[in-house]
Amino acid sequence: MTQFDSVYRGKRVLVTGHTGFKGSWLTLWLSQVGGEVTGLALDPKPEAEKLFNIVCPRLTADHRLDICDAAGVAEVVRSCRPDFVFHLAAQPLVIDSYRDPLTTVSTNVSGTANLLNAIRENAPQANTVIVTTDKCYENCEWPYAYRETDHLGGHDIYAASKAAAEIITAAFRRSFFETSDVPGKVATARGGNVIGGGDYADNRIVPDMVKALAKNEPVGVRNPHATRPWQHVLDCLSGYLTLGAWLSSDQADRENTLKRAFNFGPTSDCERSVHDLVTKTLCHWPGSWEDQSTPGAVHEASRLSIAIDLAASILKWSPSWDFSTTVERTVEWYRAESNGNSDSDLSDLMIAQIEAFNAQNNPTGADS
């Protein structure tokens, strides 16, 4: 039995943002454990088409619309009748929030409200995981890891929009989902800096490295001394899937309803500087890098880490892959793609990585 089989096999699962990086990996993983996945998202951006095309055949239904379209979202939820919802649709980039703050706010805040209202009205049975970010915390750039009870906020519009999404979700949960006649439960998941094969978004360090290395050019690094909790996409998604499973269990009914926001971060070994990430990558894909930090650039936090004690104690979840494995598995995908491997080959590689991850977490083969 594969991890999560007993929870998601034969269940209807709605994934918003399924055309993106994490959404594509989540769609593949859910399909591998027998979930019937419906996707709701905009068309994949050109840089995301490669990854999405690999997993597209796994979808039960594929709906292309804006999460800000309240009526359209409600119709998808009504037709899907999901048992589980994973909400990943978002404007996910800090720099883009400077360029287009209003779209960032409408997508990340109003879009989340649209989905929650559609679930309230059309699928109250659904257990729902709303994905936000570790950047939802008011970052004081102190050396301590942020806990779920720390203040929410944000220096930039992206961070503030995700903090607002947390507040909106908590209000919907308390207003509509914590009553005896509503079986579904709602929680938020706050992840760190996720890396893995297939992410080609602009202004992210791993895609920037891959694009440069594929051209035999030096890797330009904007902020080499910034420290981040680097986490492989499978580690992060395992947290989301564990949270969904927990929401559907009797244990969630017994726990304090305030425990509905969870951090999912990597091992402490993965809290490294951008410089460390670049140099470790160059061990697997030889090349060079150059410092391109510039005075007056838009604000980026120099330090951010999150505590995962709550997920460990309540959900019995912990991260698995250390920094070396995280980087090695990430580079493995990009090198395979750069060497001309087919979509089928890359799909097999992704499935092999999921199976390797499951084997490490579930070495006896017993169902989780």
Q: How many Å apart are CA 286 and CA 280, to the nearest integer?
A: 10
pLDDT at 136: 94
Q: How many Å apart are CA 270 and CA 328, to the nearest integer?
A: 13
Amino acid at site 176: F
pLDDT at 295: 61
pLDDT at 300: 54
Bridge partners of 188, per DSSP, are 130, 261
* CB-based contact 301:224 (threshold 8 Å): no
- Helix axis angle, 21-32 to 343-361, nearest 10°: 70
- pLDDT per position as a tens digit, 345-357: 999 999 999 999 9
Q: Which residue stretches of the chain have pLDDT < 50?
A: 1, 299, 364-368
pLDDT at 153: 93
What the chain holds in terms of domains, given with CATH numbers, is: 5-361 (3.40.50.720)
Decide: pTM greater than 0.85. yes
Residue 13 corresponds to which tokens in the numbers above?
A: 């699962």
Q: How many Å apart are CA 330 and CA 18, to the nearest integer?
A: 20
Residue 159 corresponds to which tokens in the numbers above?
A: 């961070």
Q: How many Å apart are CA 42 and CA 17, to the nearest integer?
A: 7
pLDDT at 1: 39
Q: How many Å apart are CA 162 and CA 61, to the nearest integer?
A: 28
pLDDT at 216: 95
Percent of the chain whose predicted confidence (pLDDT) is above 70: 93
* CB-based contact 37:58 (threshold 8 Å): yes
- pLDDT per position as a tens digit, 316-328: 999 999 999 999 9
* CB-based contact 234:196 (threshold 8 Å): yes
Q: What Cα–Cα distance (Å) separates residue 43 from each residue in 19, 70, 101, 109, 270? A: 7, 17, 21, 20, 32
pLDDT at 2: 61
* CB-based contact 58:28 (threshold 8 Å): yes
Query: Taking Cα atoms as reference points, which of 272, 264, 263 lies closest to residue 323?
Result: 272
